[in-house]
Amino acid sequence: MTDTFTLDTDIALIGCGRLGSALVEGWLATPGFKADRLKIIEQYETSATDQAKAAGATINPSPEQMKGVGILVLAIKPAVWREALQPFADVIPEDAVVASVMAGVRLDDIRKAVGGRPVARLMPTTAVAQRQGVAGLYSPDQKARDVATALFEGMADVVPLEAEDLLDPATGVAGSAPAFVYAFIQALARAGEAEGLKPDAAVRLARGALRSAAAGVSGGQSLEDAIERIASKGGTTRAGLDALEVDGGAARAATAAVSAAVAKARDLSR
């Protein structure tokens, strides 16, 4: 991740729903981002479009205003992407890069729809809004990879992938995984209740554990080091970890969750 925004071009975003709004919030919060270079295409005004407009962005630009766009971001639902993109496919410059965050729309289909312009696919998490996101990135084109990385790296850890199909496991391990972690934290709270904690106290303690766990790896420490720092030999944490590993329980649950998410992603992209 970087501290400042370095990309020096106009950016157009089609779709400002849940993910599009998170992207806008993340860009606006990144030092060096020039809101007056952002153009948003969206059918309805949202709090993110209002915020962007107040910072200097253009909402629903004219074709003329799209002529300096160096990167076009597609954040619409897969079902409507062709009709949403069509009015802009020919007005952006020949050398513009297209970055898609849509699940399940193949890179080759997008490239054909934009006259062969370089395309990158990314799978970001909505924590881009807090500049705490992570995004798997795939593109066979070096320029598309570079431009898309520069666009996202102020708000996400951009993880390059070697093949387009790896975006599905990336979605399972990152995009969906915060919900898996919340489910585990919820189970921890219930286990605390079973040991006598009041429900409120159990939830507060478990949420605090989640915050503490995130803070413990925020400096890029390895997961192994983070575990070893807490689990002293013969102590309570080691006893809990040993119990988690009985019959591969934790690994089995994680494998089941990721495999199911990957299978669903493949199913949806058919």
Ligand X SMILES: NC(=O)c1ccc[n+]([C@@H]2O[C@H](COP(=O)([O-])OP(=O)(O)OC[C@H]3O[C@@H](n4cnc5c(N)ncnc54)[C@H](OP(=O)(O)O)[C@@H]3O)[C@@H](O)[C@H]2O)c1
Residues annotated within the binding site for NADP(+) are: 14-19, 75-78
Among 41, 148, 173, 174, binds ligand X (CB under 6 A): 41
Least Å distance, CB 43 to ligand X, is 4
Query: Could you say which DSSP state residue 234 is in?
Result: T
Angstrom distance (rounded) from CA 133 to CA 60: 27
**Cα–Cα distance for residue pair 152/141, rounded to 1 Å:** 17
Positions at the binding site: 14-19, 75-78
Name the pairing type of β-strands 133-138 and 156-160. Answer: parallel
Structure tokens at 224: 């192994």
Q: Which is nearer to ligand X, 170 or 202 (CB)?
A: 170
| CB contact set of 163 (below 8 Å; sequence gap of 6+) | 138
How far apart, in whole angstroms, are the C-alpha atoms of residue 62 and residue 167? 33
State which residue has the least CB distance to ligand X.
17
Contact at 8 Å (CB) between 114 and 98?
Answer: yes
Q: How many residues bind ligand X (CB under 6 A)?
A: 25
Return the number of the residue (18 or 198) whose C-beta is nearest ligand X.
18
CB 26 within 8 A of CB 130: yes
The region, left, alpha or beta by phi > 0 then psi within -120 to 50, assigned to residue 130 is alpha
Of 11, 52, 84, 156, the one binding ligand X (CB under 6 A) is: 84
**DSSP states along 60-71:** S--GGGGTTEEE
Rounded to the nearest whole angstrom, what is the least distance from the CB of residue 16 to ligand X in the complex?
A: 6
**CB of residue 117 to ligand X, shortest distance in Å:** 19
Contact characters 122-161, ligand X, x per CB under 6 A? -xx-x-----------------------------------
Is 267 one of the binding residues for ligand X (CB under 6 A)?
no
Candidates 14-22, 197-205, 209-217, 243-251: pick the segment binding ligand X (CB under 6 A).
14-22
Among 1, 2, 17, 161, binds ligand X (CB under 6 A): 17
Among 11, 48, 97, 102, binds ligand X (CB under 6 A): 102
Beta bridge partners of 115: none
Under the binding rule (CB under 6 A), the answer on residue 103 touching ligand X is: yes
Span 185-244, contacts to ligand X by CB under 6 A: none
Contact between 117 and 91 under an 8 Å Cβ cutoff? The reply is no
Residues at the site binding ligand X, with contacts judged by CB under 6 A: 14-20, 41-44, 75-78, 80, 83-84, 101-103, 123-124, 126, 175
